[in-house]
Amino acid sequence: GAVVSQHPSWVICKSGTSVKIECRSLDFQATTMFWYRQFPKQSLMLMATSNEGSKATYEQGVEKDKFLINHASLTLSTLTVTSAHPEDSSFYICSAVGGSSGANVLTFGAGSRLTVL
């Protein structure tokens, strides 16, 4: 079945540093990937839609200069949290469209827990 690998699972960084999270589709080509953020006791909030070879589409209220998304290949999308601050601490999760599960089904990574000190 379709598998999406996301890493790191956990990351702790100092305030002001940048952190990169990778999301890879292992056995299928993902032309579209989504990045979500989850605040405590809330739903998955869509941050941006990442399309291979083009600029990401950000949701309203998401700072594109803070959350840099790159989708340089059909199997890899990255989210870089730049100049991280404690309020960026959150759970980030990616998903990809496609694979053996079907064109309409999202295949998720396992998520990344970011803690900014």
* Interface residues toward another protein, by CB under 8 A: 4, 32, 34, 36, 42-44, 46, 49, 93, 95, 97, 101-102, 104-111
Which among 77, 104, 93 has a CA at the least distance from the CA of 42?
Answer: 93
Q: Which helix (H) or strand (E) holds 32?
A: strand 32-38
Q: Which is nearer to another protein, 14 or 104 (CB)?
A: 104
Which among 32, 26, 17, 23 has a CA at the least distance from the CA of 106?
Answer: 32
Q: Which is nearer to another protein, 33 or 116 (CB)?
A: 33
Which among 78, 105, 112 has a CA at the least distance from the CA of 1?
Answer: 105
CB of 65 to another protein, least distance (A): 21
Q: 17 CB contacts (<8 Å, ≥6 apart)?
A: 83, 84
Q: Which is nearer to another protein, 4 or 84 (CB)?
A: 4
CB of 43 to another protein, least distance (A): 4
CB of 105 to another protein, least distance (A): 5
